[in-house]
Amino acid sequence: MCTGRGDTLSLNVLFAALPHRWPQYRKQLEAAFAGAGVDCTLVNEIDDPARVDVIVYAPNSGLEDFGPFTNLKAVLNLWAGVEDIVDNTTLQVPLARMVDPGLTQGMIEWVTAHVLRHHLEIDLDITCPPGDWRYRVPKLASQQRVGILGLGSLGAACADALVSLGFDVAGWSRTAHDASHFPAFHGSDGLEQLIQRSDILVLLLPLTEATSDLIDAERLALLPKGAVLLNPGRGGLVDDAALLEALESGQVGHATLDTFRVEPLPPDHPFWTHPRVTVTPHIASATRPETASRVIAENVRRVAMGAPLLHLVDRGLGY
């Protein structure tokens, strides 16, 4: 059972994820519950769905029908993205997305590393033949324009990190964003302006009906010629065929991609062998059990106390 201090409500918590995740999370969650002042019976299997109050949920767990969970009070997503669950009509309770300090720091490190890699043209040194002395003077960060599409918790954190390194950063969000230390665009006109001034464009938007194939041939053509595209967000944000055409023409100089429409990326996909594409295996924003468990425990405590959830998903907006 799970009880908030000074409260009489007890909760049952179901961990619904792939089997190998259970030993990774069990001890971390139990420790986090203890630290948050809640005592829980945490299980990964249950005979009677009606006894479950909270589900800690990974969208690839195989659980799709929430109807039998008649006393369910909340679903706590293990992933930052909720596109695989947000439209599930059987889910009729509050849904929280994962905002994990470890996940955020991992994203900052991935984005910063690859921005610096392309900014300093490190690939030229890595692939340089012996004896080929390619002397050059790299730009300073202040001369490199970086655009961040998406100014949620991840995008804003990455923008802040890049600003601290001196990059000429600007961001874009669906609606106006209060960012006093870098230009922030919004709306359709703002999207065009942001893309046009991005030597390096970083995609950190959620995948929704409005953002699917957002980076298509028309928008790729708005980039400065030879610009770099980084996509640690969602594979469906990019029209793959349009990106390959832009790479072939030189309109896009390089694409470093961490997320894809189909994962793992099929071995015969042209991204694997294209000389101007770097593939990383969806590692930019991994959820870390230790830090994620503390976020989950706080939301379980809030359920027990009848308090609002952290990081509540707006089902209408899709994130």
Reported as a single tens digit per residue, the pLDDT across 236-275 is 999 999 999 999 999 999 999 999 999 999 999 999 999 9
State how far the alpha carbon of 106 is from the alpha carbons of 3, 207, 222, in Å: 32, 20, 30
Catalytic residue among 261, 274, 282, 311: 282
User: pTM of this prediction?
Assistant: 0.91
Instruction: Determine contact, residues 88/57, Cβ cutoff 8 Å.
Output: no
Per-residue pLDDT band at 8 (split at 50, 70, 90): very low
> Which of the residue ranges 128-132, 253-257, 283-287 has the most confident prediction, judged by mean pLDDT?
253-257
Task: For residue 269, indicate whether it is catalytic.
Answer: no
Query: pLDDT at residue 3 above 80?
Result: no
Distance CA 10, CA 1 (A): 5
Residue 293's pLDDT is 97
Biggest alpha carbon–alpha carbon distance for the chain? 74
Residue 4 has pLDDT above 70, yes or no: no
Give the 3-state secondary structure of residue 238.
strand
The string of pLDDT tens digits covering residues 51-106 is: 999 999 999 999 999 999 999 999 999 999 999 999 999 999 999 999 999 999 99
Alpha-carbon torsion 102, 107, 112, 113, what sign? Answer: positive
For the segment 203-244, what is each residue's pLDDT rounded down to a tens digit?
Answer: 999 999 999 999 999 999 999 999 999 999 999 999 999 999
CB 294 within 8 A of CB 35: yes
Q: What integer pLDDT is reported at residue 6 of this predicted model? A: 45
What pLDDT does 39 receive? 78
Whole-number pLDDT of residue 285: 85
Contact (CB, 8 A) for 185 and 191: yes
**119 has catalytic annotation:** no
Strands (DSSP E) contained in the chain are: 2-3, 10-16, 41-43, 54-57, 74-77, 95-96, 145-149, 168-173, 184-186, 200-203, 227-231, 252-257, 277-279
Per-residue pLDDT at 177: 86
Distance CA 77, CA 96 (A): 6
User: Looking at 21, 174, 234, 301, which residue is catalytic?
Assistant: 234
25 phi and psi angles, rounded to 5 deg: -105, -25
> Phi/psi zone of residue 121: left (φ > 0), alpha (ψ -120 to 50 degrees), beta?
left
Distance CA 118, CA 209 (A): 31
- Is residue 292 over pLDDT 80? yes
Residue 175: is its pLDDT beyond 80?
yes
**φ, ψ for residue 4 (rounded to 5)?**
-80, 145
